[in-house]
Each structure stands twice: as structure tokens, then as C-alpha cells.
């Protein structure tokens, strides 16, 4: 067993010795993105595993270790990690937990402290918790987010957004069932091998690779693309995670819909931009603002390149830019409204509607007050301005039944034709 070392505050550190011996458990959110990110971490010498598990068991474990007034995503993330540690699959003296920290006002910044409290309650204080953050909140000698590693993570985000977007626009129409998912797996494995082999990656190479990906998806034989499009927005975890939203994407596809989910890149740019907004509104060091502007431009450049590549293929719809999304949202909310998903969530609904995706499911997790304000709280105003919009807010919490959630979504889908007729009148 590695020697346990604590910092001056009493926090258990993840050491270089642990890096060689420990398995790092990572909660799942975006299957395509996180699979690639995990394999990138492994190429840097970390032994990582993204988690699955039985949904009911995860919820019950979360309820056991997290106070029931805490937000639903926290309950799920901590429940998934605690369930895995206690499953008997891992050596409790050689396992570590990885969790993100945004550094903002959202309670997600405190998940890490709730997780440590849960470990203490379970008598597992020897399990180190690693913070993955860009804010310098917590540092560990055995886990370092280097510039090179960060750039590869960015590539995984870009590739992940592209693959998910193309798959969602292809899967509902494929003639040969399963062909889309096989191509998703093929490209995930191919990209990760390049990361592992240390192939030098440049913007030119990334663009060429994105072009190859689009070309491959464009080759899949499809029927006429005429299904009802349904967008998914909401709190980031419940929006993306099949565990958090009861496999919402799969349900909508089985209902004969084409699912449209905004990419992760917008959220990352949003978080960087918020640091710049802080300086504008409350003052601060000019160097912080300058660094944030440079980072934001760097991310936006990759996003624009992805959009340009997609636009070369008429069979696919490209997403809008972050600046366009911001422009849409600023007529409704100010840039200072940035807790949780902030104005970004409202902007995503507006962008979907402007792109012709009028049917929207807004995922509302229990305990997320900002999400209810910028999500559910904005629906009436958006409907007033866009009568053709068909939006339903679905609550997700430990006591919500899947059948009730699905019935409400089915009712929203049944209203699709009525909304079209109403607009014509």
C-alpha cells in the first residue's frame, strides 16, 4: 500500500507512487467523449476506468451518502463512485476517484467535498479524491493537467462533438441497422490509437481527420431525412448522461425522432468566457482577462473549423458558433447570468428553434435552482416570441418514475402536429 501523504489542510494527496499502483475511477457522462478522454489519460500512465453500474443501485447508494436536498447530479455522481468502490471489484487500498471542479457558484464545485464526506462516513478515508479543474483549486503531485494533455483533451472534445453530431443525424435513417454505431466505435478506436502512438497533431491534421470522419459517415446508406427533430437541453450532467436522463436519447430514437444535442464545446467556451465576464463586471487583473480571451479564441477556432468541415457535406447540418448562440441569448439574459448553465441554456433553446428544431426537452434535475430559472423559467417568454416552439420541462429526481417522464414527452410529441397547424392559422 502506498504511503498516505496529507497537505497542510489535512487533504489526502494523490502521489506519484499512487499513480503507478492505483486505479482511477471516473464517473460517466458522455460515453463517446469520456471513452476517448480516459484512453488519453491511460496513454500518460494513468490507470483509469469509466464507470457504469445498475441505475437503481446507484441512486440508492447516492441517497445513503448524500443529503436528499442536494442536487440530483451530485447524488448520481457520488452514488456511482461509492457504489463502485464498495462493489468488491477494486482494491480499496489501491483505488482513487476523479471528479471535476468548475470553480463557479454551482454546487458542482462542492461535489468533491461531499464525496470526501461520503468516503469518511463509509470508513474509506484512505481513498484519495482527485480534482480535475482549470481553476487551480486543488493540486496533486501524482496528477497533473499539463498543456500537452490539455490539448489532447481538447481534441477529444472536438472529435467527440463531431462524431456524436454525425451519428445523431445518421442513425435514425440508416438502412443497415447498427452501421452508424459500428462506425462510431471504429473512429473512437482509430483516434485513440493515434493519441497513444504519440502522433504529432496539428490543426491541419485535425481538420483533415474531421474531413475523413464526415466522409465516412456520409457514405452510410440512409433513407430520406424527414423524422421529427427533438432537441435536448438542460443541466449538463442530466442533459448528456444516459444514467441522469433515463436513456432519453434512446427513448426518443425509439419513438421515431432525430435527436439533436448541443455539443460540449459550447459549454467549455462558456466557462472560459465567464472568467472574462467576471473581470468586466467586478474588476480584476487584466492578465486574467487576456489569458481567457486567448483560450476562448483558441477553442472557438477549433469549433469554427469543425463547422466549416461539416458544411462541405450537404447531408449534414452544422451547429452554430458560440458567438451566434451568445447573440441570441443576450436579448433575454445578461452575460452575468452564469450560474450553472446560465444564459447558455436559454441560448441553446433559441439556437435549436432558429435552426428548425422546434421540439425541445428541457431536462430539469432536482435541486438545480439556476437551471430552473434559465430553463423552465424562460420557456413562457420563448414560446411568446416563437409560437411554433414546442418545449416541455421534464423533472429528474430519485422519486421520479421513468414512465411518467416518458408519458409527458409522448404528450409533447403528440402536440407536434398541433403546433404546426397553430402556426399556419
| Block mean pLDDT (10 aa), the chain, length 425 | 84 92 93 90 91 92 90 93 95 93 70 91 94 77 86 91 98 97 95 76 88 98 95 95 95 96 95 91 90 94 96 96 96 91 96 96 90 92 96 93 94 76 45
As a dihedral over the C-alpha atoms of residue 299, residue 185, residue 49, residue 241, rounded to 10 degrees, the angle is 70
Phi first, then psi: what are they for 362, rounded to 5°? -100, 110
CATH number at residue 125: 3.40.50
pLDDT value of position 112: 87
CB atoms within 10 A of CB 349: 27
What distance in Å separates the CA atoms of residue 117 and residue 97, rounded to the nearest whole number? 13
Decide if 159 is inside a domain: no
Terminal-residue alpha carbon distance, the chain = 72
Q: Is there a single domain that holds both residue 131 and residue 243? A: no
What distance in Å separates the CA atoms of residue 376 and residue 392, rounded to the nearest whole number? 8
Q: Of the residues 107, 129, 145, which one is the last residue of a structural domain?
A: 145
Count of structural domains, the chain: 2
Decide if 408 is inside a domain: yes
User: For residue 391, what is the DSSP state?
Assistant: E
Q: Is there a single domain that holds both residue 131 and residue 259? A: no
Q: Is there a single domain that holds both residue 255 and residue 391? A: yes
Q: Of the residues 124, 145, 166, which one is the last residue of a structural domain?
A: 145
Q: In the sheet that 47-50 helps form, which strands lie side by side, from edge to edge?
A: 47-50, 23-26, 95-100, 129-132
On whether the CB atoms of residues 229 and 357 are closer than 8 A, the answer is: yes
pLDDT value of position 422: 43
Which of these, 77, 73, 75, 95, lies nearest to 85 by C-alpha position? 95
Question: How far from 327 is each of 39, 146, 202, 331, CA to CA, in Å?
Answer: 36, 33, 30, 7
Q: Is there a single domain that holds both residue 128 and residue 231? A: no
pLDDT value of position 198: 66
User: Which residue segment(s) compose the domain that 354 sits in?
Assistant: 227-263+319-424
Q: Is there a single domain that holds both residue 120 and residue 245? A: no
Q: Is there a single domain that holds both residue 113 and residue 232? A: no
Q: Is pTM, for the whole model, over 0.85?
A: yes
Decide if 307 is inside a domain: no
pLDDT value of position 424: 46
Amino acid at each position: 500500500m502506498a504511503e498516505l501523504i496529507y497537505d497542510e489542510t489535512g487533504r489526502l494527496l494523490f502521489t506519484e507512487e499512487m499513480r503507478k499502483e492505483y486505479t482511477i475511477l471516473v464517473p460517466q457522462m458522455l460515453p463517446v467523449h469520456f471513452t476517448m478522454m480516459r484512453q488519453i489519460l491511460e496513454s500518460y500512465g494513468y490507470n483509469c476506468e469509466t464507470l457504469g453500474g445498475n441505475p437503481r443501485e446507484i441512486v440508492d447508494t447516492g441517497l445513503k451518502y448524500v443529503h436528499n436536498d442536494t442536487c440530483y447530479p451530485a447524488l448520481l455522481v457520488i452514488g456511482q463512485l461509492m457504489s463502485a468502490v464498495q462493489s468488491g471489484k477494486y482494491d480499496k487500498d489501491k483505488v482513487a476517484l476523479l471528479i471535476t471542479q468548475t470553480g463557479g457558484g454551482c454546487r458542482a464545485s462542492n461535489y468533491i467535498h461531499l464525496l470526501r464526506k461520503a468516503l469518511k462516513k463509509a470508513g474509506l478515508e484512505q481513498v484519495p479524491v482527485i480534482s480535475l479543474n482549470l481553476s487551480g483549486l486543488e493540486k496533486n503531485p501524482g496528477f497533473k493537467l499539463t498543456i500537452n494533455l490539455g490539448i489532447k483533451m481538447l481534441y477529444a472534445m472536438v472529435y467527440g462533438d463531431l462524431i456524436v453530431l454525425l451519428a445523431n443525424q445518421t442513425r435514425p435513417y440508416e438502412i443497415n441497422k447498427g452501421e452508424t454505431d459500428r462506425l462510431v466505435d471504429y473512429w473512437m478506436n482509430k483516434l485513440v490509437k493515434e493519441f497513444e502512438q504519440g502522433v504529432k497533431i496539428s490543426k491541419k491534421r485535425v481538420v483533415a481527420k474531421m474531413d475523413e470522419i464526415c466522409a465516412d459517415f456520409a457514405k452510410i446508406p440512409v433513407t430520406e431525412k424527414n423524422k421529427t427533430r427533438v432537441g435536448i437541453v438542460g443541466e449538463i450532467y442530466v442533459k448528456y448522461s444516459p444514467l441522469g436522463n433515463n436513456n432519453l436519447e434512446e427513448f426518443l430514437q425509439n419513438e421515431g425522432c432525430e435527436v439533436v444535442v448541443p455539443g460540449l464545446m459550447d459549454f467549455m467556451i462558456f466557462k472560459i468566457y465567464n472568467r472574462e465576464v467576471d473581470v468586466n463586471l467586478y474588476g480584476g487583473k487584466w492578465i486574467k482577462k487576456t489569458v481567457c480571451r486567448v483560450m476562448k479564441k483558441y477553442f472557438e477556432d477549433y469549433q469554427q473549423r469543425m463547422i466549416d468541415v461539416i458544411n462541405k457535406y450537404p447531408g449534414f447540418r452544422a451547429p452554430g458558433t458560440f458567438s451566434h448562440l451568445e447573440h441570441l441569448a443576450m436579448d433575454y439574459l445578461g452575460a452575468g447570468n452564469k450560474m450553472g448553465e446560465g444564459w447558455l441554456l436559454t441560448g441553446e433553446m433559441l439556437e435549436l428553434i432558429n435552426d428548425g428544431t422546434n421540439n425541445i426537452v428541457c431536462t430539469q434535475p432536482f435541486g438545480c435552482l439556476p437551471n430552473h430559472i434559465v430553463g423552465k423559467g424562460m420557456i413562457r417568454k420563448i414560446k411568446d416570441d416563437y409560437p411554433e416552439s414546442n418545449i416541455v420541462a421534464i423533472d429528474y429526481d430519485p422519486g421520479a418514475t421513468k414512465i411518467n417522464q416518458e408519458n409527458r414527452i409522448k404528450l409533447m410529441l403528440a402536440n407536434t402536429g398541433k403546433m404546426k397547424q397553430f402556426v399556419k392559422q
